[in-house]
Every structure is written in structure tokens, then in C-alpha cells.
Structure 1
Amino acid sequence: MSSHHFVKEQQEPAVLILEVDQVRFDQVSPLLEWVPTVLVSEKALELVLSWGIKIDVILASESFQSENQHLLEEQYPVRFISASADDYLQTGLDYLISSDHSAVHLVGLAHLKALDLREKLDLLNLTILDGDWKYYPVTSGEFKKWFAESTIHIHGEEGMPVQIQNENGELILPITYATMLEVPDGITEIKAPGAFWIGEQVYS
């Protein structure tokens, strides 16, 4: 069995590209290393096609599909899935769940929409690439990681208290719209009474 067929068995996190306004190819290309399933919204399609990558699913309106049947040959074996502009995300996630994927990178999704994904977190391992930042959920309410000295973003329900412990000491603060936290070299522990997301700046 070739490696291509091996990874198409949903072993690798899929890539769902929703918007490309704040996204560069060099940010996305590491996600494509093992030939994952790639879904692209109609809105992002033109730029993604210019990258020359293999697309598996195009999320598009029925009018777009009828006007762009040539893509079915040019990108074979691509398939269309009907979706309107306001439900690319939901339709893409439902497709991935129904096709037994367990993980997906969401490219070009505003991190502010992360809290809308709560019901999907039991079904999919999600990460969000929003501009230069990568976000991942902490569903257990407890998080522990070694960081290089940097700034991280804690995103969750407004007002939810979080307890933070690292070499700088311990503090408890409520999550606000943009809870940015300077972390020192070393282990940082974060605890909260509910799910939250951690954002790291992965590109500069």
C-alpha cells in the first residue's frame, strides 16, 4: 500500500480552508506534508488553486458548481458538496465526522468563533489557524506546557476565572475579550472550570 493511500485512511488531520485573506501558502504547506484530505470553500478556492495543491472537496453553492463543472476534471477526483457562505464550516465539519476523520486544521477561521465549536470538540480534534496564530482547545479544564518566553492568548467564556502558575508565580484572573499572557521560559500551568482555547503565535 502506498503512503498516499495509507494517509487517506483518515490517519492525518484534514485541512479545511475557509478564508485566505490573512493566510499565506508557507503557513499552510506544513499541514499538507502527509497528503491529508483537503476541503476548500468556494470563497477561498481561487487562491488555493493557484497554490497548486491537491483538493479533495469544494464547498460551494449550487450555482457555483454548475458554472465550474470543469473543476471536476481538472482536479479529479475532487467532489463538490453544496454549502452556502454562512455554513461552509458546519458543512465541512459534518462531512469530516461522517467520513470518520478524527482531526482537522481549520484555516482562516476567526478565533472568536472558537467558542461556537464546543459541540464538535467531542467528535474532532480541532486546531485553528487565524493569521499568525494557532489555537487549540483545552476541554479538560487543565493545561500544562513548556513555553519559550513569549505571549500566549487564553480564549474562553467571558468572565470565566483562570488560574495560572509558572516561574512568575501564581495568579487568578477572569477571561476577557483578549486575555494575553506573558509567559517565561519553562512550564506554565493553566486551570479553569470550563473549556478554553490557547493561542500561540507560530508565524511572525
Structure 2
Amino acid sequence: MSSHHIVRDDQEPALIIANGAECSRELLGQLLEWSPLVIVLDSAMNRVLDLGIKVDVLLGDFDRGFDPDYFLEKQYPLEIVHTPDQDKTDLEKAFDYLVTRGIPAANVIWATGKRADHTITNITNIVRFRDKLKIVVLDDHSKVFLLPKKFEKWYPAGTPLSLIPVGKVSGIDSKNLKYELSNDELTIGYRTGSSNEALNDGVVLIKHKDGDLLMMECFD
């Protein structure tokens, strides 16, 4: 795997590599090409190094005897960010780092699969940073992001789309979905909008009044 493309426009999303299941080399390469900044969590650094990826920032609590200085020679220049706060996950701390850098968006990979608790936490953290970062979590099967109160996007007919509420979401209306929503309410654990799909080629419109609603574009 080659190093990432040299892009220095901080308006492009940074890329955060967590420590869940790996994605395909194709997806990884596509994201690296346009990422101005590549951040790797310490728990994934050895795996990333094996792929030959140029890393900009190594971030984590560096526990369990982890030696960040070992990677300086292999990845120079490399910014090492020690974040010992045990009240936050390393991914949350990576989001905090981007906020302090003034970078407005992040793509996150290797954040799903493996442990279910990590997957759930990583995905729902999108909501916590809603006013600070535009976050997209990607793997080979899905793309997850927070919907604004009004969302419009063109999809081919039959594209699998799932609407996942974080808590309760009310006043949901849609157009061009197979299972339309009209002033509906979704609540995690009771009723969600999973396994819906675009009805026809064209723009899908989704509006909601209250709550946090995640879109999951699925690639079956």
C-alpha cells in the first residue's frame, strides 16, 4: 500500500484509522488519496505499518508498554499525541484533536467489526460531535453519517438505506423510499427504519423535526 496522496487542504476530511476489522485495500486506497491528514490510533499502528501507509499523527494513551518512539524512525516526520484520559475512547480523543486543529470533517475506518461494544460506541459518537465535526464511518458494507433536519440525495433504485435513531426521533417524513414515513417516530430498541431502500432512480428526501437520526447506506 502506497503512502497517502499529498493533499494539504484542511477542508478535505481527515482519515482516522481505528482498530476494528480491516476494510478492503480498495476502500483504504480511495480514502488515503484525498486525505490531508492520516491519524492512527496506537492499537492499530503495527497493522498500519505493515501496509506501508504514511501516517501523520499517532494518537493514544500508549498503555500496555506501547513505545511510540519506536515508530518515529519508521514514519518520520510523525506527530505523536499522548492522550492519557481514561474517560474517553481513543477515537473520541482523535475527534477532539481534529476539533482543536480546526479540521471540519473526518472519515473513519476500521471502527466496526470485532467487538460489538466498540462498534456501537464508535457509531453513536457521531452524534456527540454533531456541532463540531462532520463524521462518516465507513467499512466495506456500509457508510454511516448523521442526517441534517432536511436531507436530499440522488440514489439508484433499490439502494439499501437504513435509518437508525439514536434515542427517539420524531416528525419524520420521506419521499422516494419503498417504505415511506409520514410524521413518523423511530426509537432505538423499539422501532427503527432499517432495510428500507430507494424506490426509484432519483432524489430521496428525508426530513425530521426532533432527535438524532443516522443514515446507513448499505452495500450488499
**Fold match (TM-score > 0.5):** yes
| Contact 1:16–1:107 (8 Å) recurs in 2 | yes
CA distance in 2, matches of 1:93, 1:68: 20
2:10 equivalent in structure 1 = 10
| Contact 2:8–2:36 (8 Å) recurs in 1 | yes
Q: How does 1:37-76 map to 2 (within 5 A)?
A: 37-63=37-63, 67-76=67-76
Identity within the alignment, %: 24
1:143 equivalent in structure 2 = 151
| Deviating more after overlay: 175-184 vs 147-156 | 175-184
Change (3 A) 1:164 1:74: same
Aligned pair count reads: 198
1:27 equivalent in structure 2 = 27
CA distance in 2, matches of 1:24, 1:57: 22
**Residue identity in the other structure for 1:145:** K
CA distance in 1, matches of 2:90, 2:140: 19
CA distance in 2, matches of 1:24, 1:33: 14
Unaligned runs of 5+ in 2: 113-118
Aligned with 1:190 (options 206, 213, 220): 206
| Contact 1:147–1:184 (8 Å) recurs in 2 | no
CA drift at 1:120: 1.8
| Contact 1:65–1:80 (8 Å) recurs in 2 | no
CA drift at 1:78: 1.0
CA distance in 2, matches of 1:43, 1:64: 10
| Contact 2:106–2:134 (8 Å) recurs in 1 | yes
| RMSD of aligned residue pairs (Cα, Å) | 2.6
**Residue identity in the other structure for 1:146:** W
Does residue 166 of structure 1 match 2:176? yes
CA drift at 1:192: 1.2
CA distance in 1, matches of 2:152, 2:145: 13
Change (3 A) 1:69 1:159: closer
Aligned with 1:89 (options 88, 91, 109): 91
TM-score of the aligned structures, taking structure 2 as reference length:
0.77
